[in-house]
Chains A and B, each alone.
Chain A
């Protein structure tokens, strides 16, 4: 057992009462997968005793665990309570899981994104569980008048073996709740874990398969109106006027007006979007009526002028220029080619790259590109708000409520104590739901109407609203000496309106090459961007790992052996001191995937591609097995090896990994948003191609490295490298290298041509 201090999680012991919530669905873990036996079926207790923010125990032994973070499908609502339950030492089948509201006074970091949920909650949740357990032990120690050190627990029962006394947690809960919080608690040794590391079903499983209301879009309350927005059809346009005469007279329509969501001089945070701050709003009784009235509006638009805004982003305060103009994809491509010729901003330089390229035996240079991508969560943007003069009630699909809270406070003129944000299950997030514009819009609309409102975007509104993954390009250059050693490596990358390299210049292969150079540039745009599953890495991983495949080929080396050779160099004799990866763990996933995929085995009908990447603190290597059927690539199998430390819920972790792999293959093959005169050319799923059942891999194996490292991120790291594994396998299958995403149109052309 390790002893740790609890002092850092004081806030979880504050006895502050939650604002009125109500209507939240409880999730019983035993409901998933089977019908409870009568012993398992919990009756709700007469009274709950709160041991800390996360844990309530009823006098009958029922346990409620609060899941602090917003749930968007990564299954934190199961895995976070599993961590609490492990240290509390209870029977998982008797647990009730409840989604916490946004409540920063009681919970730490209620943010879902960056694959950091489990990593950063690991210690706080374990401590909360262990502390509550210790308080129950202390209560029993007092009651039985025996030393606390002689009391053991198992499955929610306290034992004093020497005297044969035992009691359920429920019997001690009331006394425990009144005891002081212990200064130190012991955490379990990982070998003693019973819940962590063994797969548990999604606590919402039954609710999902029976269609229970769980998303904001499903939410309803007395007197609630439906609001929809009309935003400009193009980036670079704003509302000029709107003729709403017809719309107003349509059945079920209550009001039509224009709102301004953020003032121009408002200092934004990184999750405030600037897409369209002026919107036309239609309000009515039902969704269908409002949808129809929306179509009857006759708005006119005018061009925006150049402007600038102040943003408090991840790199500090920045003034961002928003250029006027109606941009097109063709223009973007031309200007990117121009920008790529100019010197970039040097992010890292080791040795003498120029000199090394001059004396190289062979040099290879390749340029990669990827388009804007829309998130396209299956649940379109929506939000419930009821704002009165006294308070604001918000029920929202939101990944980053603390940022929305800041914006809402400023915009509504209410202090944060008067704003209550309830966290809905999200029908997907992928980064888009970190941007809280929908909360502000719904709140402003509700404030104006003085009524409860549900704001609903149509799919078209959602897909054409912006917050896209930026458009990127990168040129890589490598030099080999006579013996085919990599002696120089350089990357110059840029994007619209953000470069992909900014925080990744110290990643592999930096540290493994004597002469290294990383440069970056960017070009402003009025098309808005946002985090998208593994931001920046989602391009870099694919480009870099495709390039390394080609360098290995040029060097006449096996692509896995080539990477291992570089990693060995980085381990033994690293170049530079700030390399941000552990070469041994990196090599570990490559070796594991080599073993699991039987890499050395070859089959003429199977074309294999490999890639590896490290991001979000997690190491991933992947192998794709491709076959060609009727000239179309079929992904027969994907092998993934992952090192994310301890895996809390293995089957759910594998599910998320499978999702990232399929999502990556889909975006590599089909994902693309293009523009003509500022207008996004795709506005629904008939035009925007998303991977479907027939194109999905036939099977996927996700293997986790077994070790005792604290858990790291998982939602994102399996996404970036698969782009390269796919490109590398396609190269084997068709003999062509693909440099520009999406791949599918090029393959189709090559098949036909």
Chain B
């Protein structure tokens, strides 16, 4: 066990955990930030996507010991009122079915638009290909990203 001071959603948070613990479980079990989801644990589904700095990361394979003081953003910290352009576009297109994958989709889409504010279709598809949606809302996800990009 070791103590880590993390910078999460703009707040300092302290946890005392095994250094190998993935950020996914630090967030969910220790910090009660359960918006970040567990889907596979092997970086194959994207449900656990968070931002490390501006980069989208799979938190299920990111040990807490590697985070250091880099700012972490989770779905809970993406915006104050759920009004990030990506979140608004998601509501406009009523993307969700079961909703389980959507936090990961939104975090990945937000990181994409930060790096590339006006992505083309192929860029959207490539960037979002790692995020599974078993309810298969892919067509709406794509449409929502375009709406968010159009601002």
Contacts and interface: CB of A to CB of B under 8 A. Distances in A.
Interface of A: 32-33, 35, 72-75, 199, 201-202, 204-206, 208-215, 217-218, 220, 226, 251, 286-289, 291, 376-380, 425-430, 458-459, 651-652, 655-656, 658-663, 666, 684-686, 690-694, 696-700
A211 B94 contact: no
A698 B97 CA distance: 19
Contact of A286 (B29, B79, B97, B106): B29
Nearest to B36: A211
A684 B42 contact: yes
Contacts of A202: 94, 96
18 contacts: A201-B91, A208-B90, A209-B87, A210-B82, A218-B34, A287-B28, A288-B18, A288-B29, A378-B45, A378-B100, A378-B101, A379-B98, A427-B98, A430-B134, A652-B94, A655-B140, A692-B132, A699-B139
B22 A662 contact: no
A214 to B, nearest CB: 7
B13 interface: no
B114 to A, nearest CB: 17
Contact of A217 (B38, B94, B140): B38
B72 interface: no
B21 A288 contact: yes
A72 B135 CA distance: 10
Contacts of A655: 94-95, 97, 137, 140
Interface string B15-44: 001100110010011101111111111101
Contacts of B30: 286
B126 interface: yes
A666 B138 CA distance: 12
A203 to B, nearest CB: 11
A425 B99 contact: yes
Contacts of A289: 18
Contact of B136 (A208, A427, A659, A684): A659
Given A73-B97, A288-B18, A210 B47 contact: no
A380 B37 CA distance: 10
Contacts of A73: 96-99, 135
Given A32-B91, A211-B35, A658-B140, 10 more contacts: A208-B96, A209-B91, A210-B87, A215-B100, A220-B32, A289-B18, A658-B139, A693-B124, A696-B138, A697-B139
A468 to B, nearest CB: 15
B91 A459 contact: no
A211 B135 CA distance: 17
A685 B91 contact: no
Interface of B is mostly: loop
Interface string B55-98: 00000000000000000001110110111000100111011111
A378 B133 contact: yes
B134 A376 contact: yes
Leading 7 A-B pairs by shortest Cβ distance: A211-B35, A427-B100, A73-B98, A211-B75, A662-B136, A73-B97, A696-B138
B85 to A, nearest CB: 11
A377 B125 contact: no
A252 to B, nearest CB: 9
A10 B2 CA distance: 60
B128 interface: yes
Contact of B74 (A211, A226, A652, A659): A211
Contacts of A206: 82, 91
A66 B75 CA distance: 28
B116 interface: no
Contacts of B25: 286-288
B103 interface: yes
B141 interface: yes
Contacts of B134: 376-378, 428, 430, 663, 690
A206 B121 CA distance: 26
Contacts of B150: none
A680 to B, nearest CB: 15
A380 B38 contact: yes
Contacts of B140: 655, 658
- Of the listed residues A210, A655, A686, A693, the one surrounded by the most CB atoms of chain B closer than 10 A to its CB is A693
Contacts of A291: 41
Contacts of B135: 73, 378, 428, 659, 663
B87 A379 contact: no
B136 A211 contact: no
Contacts of A686: 40, 42, 44
A35 B82 CA distance: 10
B82 A459 contact: no
B138 A693 contact: yes
Contacts of A376: 134
Contacts of A379: 37, 39, 98, 100
B111 to A, nearest CB: 15
Nearest to A696: B138
A223 to B, nearest CB: 14
A217 B94 CA distance: 23
A95 B94 CA distance: 18
B14 interface: no
Nearest to B89: A209
Contact of A693 (B18, B40, B81, B142): B142
A227 to B, nearest CB: 14
B22 A288 contact: yes
Contacts of A205: 90-91, 94, 96
A738 B76 CA distance: 46
Contacts of B92: 33
- Of the listed residues A32, A287, A429, A651, the one surrounded by the most CB atoms of chain B closer than 10 A to its CB is A287
